[in-house]
Amino acid sequence: MEESRNLKYIRAKNRVQREKGFYNHLVVFILVNIGITAFKIYGNLSSWDDFTKELISLNVLSTWVVWGCILLFHFFMVRFGGQWEEKKINEYMDREMSNE
């Protein structure tokens, strides 16, 4: 029974670590992309129209979109990838228990 509690604790801790990694990735995504966007727009500022035109340009949006797709993939791995991992862990544990 104690082993079962320890195993549940380890699984929960691993899940929290994966979620923490995702949230760290999200914060870095936002901060770095704001910095990149500001850097790309800064050189072309002469009026408000230039600002809005530059803000929605492919040059600026490309980093948000590409990194956003990677972040979305990371989200799906955190949210749905753990279930596959837990099934495999249970499978290997059952194999080990049957060999004893």
- pLDDT for residue 9 is more than 80: yes
Range of the domain at 71: 2-99
Q: What is the pLDDT of residues 30-67, one digit of tens each?
A: 999 999 888 888 776 776 667 777 777 888 899 999 99
Q: What is the pLDDT of residues 56-95, one digit of tens each?
A: 788 889 999 999 999 999 999 888 877 777 777 777 777 7
Residue 38 is predicted with a pLDDT of: 87
Amino acid at 73: F
Would you give the end-to-end CA distance of the chain in angstroms? 18
